[in-house]
């Protein structure tokens, strides 16, 4: 059975992993006949957001791994302790945690840096010829993870697309029901909630992404 590493960035669209995208990804992996292992970096979140009001909760601080464990029903490991050789593929769901905790793209844009444990894991996966899927805003990290010329999509957001191009990536427009595939690098991306207006719309692209990742693995 193929095993997919799923890297989470917390729990909640505004300061962690997008919950629907994460659950849809895990469901699609199982329905595709594979298994998964959730993992996350053991670091503090950039900040905590009140998901009712959208306000920053300045008096709170949460841990990315601890929060991501909510999504994984406790079955999660520290990204720093994960071994790329144990997995056939990698998928990173979206949510602002990808741009706030896995990287600082949300505040730094094209000058962003990525968590070093994520860099090491993702590059080891790719260098072994294994596929990587990135969802929603997570593809903004593509050129930082996989180098100049890497092809990806976040949908049709011109500002984010311009930042990806500035970082050396190649952005291609895409709707939420489709995927963009960098065949040479085995990178699969889909916009999901960058464009989706409902969970079913997000699922349409995520299911295709997971199917393609499993096909390439």
SS3 string of 178-214?
CCEEECCCCEEEECHHHCCCCHHHHHHHHHHHHHHHH
Distance in angstroms (rounded) separating the CA atoms of residues 117 and 20: 25
Q: Which of 136, 152, 174, 176 is labelled catalytic?
A: 136
A 10 A CB-CB count for 44 gives 14
Query: Which pair of structure tokens corresponds to residue 159?
Result: 């500002």
Distance in angstroms (rounded) separating the CA atoms of residues 184 and 191: 20
**183 burial class (0-12, 13-18, 19+ CB within 10 angstroms)?**
exposed
136 is catalytic: yes
Catalytic residues: 136
């Amino acid at each position: 059975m193929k095993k997919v590493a799923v890297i989470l960035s917390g729990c909640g669209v505004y300061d962690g992993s997008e919950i629907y995208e994460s659950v849809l990804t895990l469901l699609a992996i199982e329905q595709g006949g594979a298994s998964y292992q959730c993992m996350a970096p053991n670091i503090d979140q950039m900040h905590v957001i009140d998901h009712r009001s959208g306000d920053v909760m300045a008096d709170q601080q949460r841990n990315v791994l601890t929060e991501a464990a909510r999504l994984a029903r406790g079955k999660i490991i520290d990204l720093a302790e994960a071994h790329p050789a144990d997995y056939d593929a990698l998928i990173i769901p979206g949510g602002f945690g990808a741009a706030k905790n896995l990287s600082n793209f949300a505040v730094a844009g094209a000058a962003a840096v990525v968590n070093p444990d994520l860099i090491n894991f993702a590059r080891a996966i790719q260098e072994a010829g294994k596929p990587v899927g990135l969802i929603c805003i997570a593809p903004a990290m593509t050129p930082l993870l996989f180098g100049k010329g890497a092809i990806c999509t976040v949908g049709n957001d011109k500002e984010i697309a311009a930042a990806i191009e500035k970082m050396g990536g190649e952005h291609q427009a895409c709707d939420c029901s489709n995927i963009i595939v960098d065949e040479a690098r085995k990178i699969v991306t889909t916009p999901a909630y960058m464009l989706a207006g409902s969970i079913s719309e997000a699922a349409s692209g995520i299911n295709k992404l997971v199917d393609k990742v499993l096909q390439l693995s």
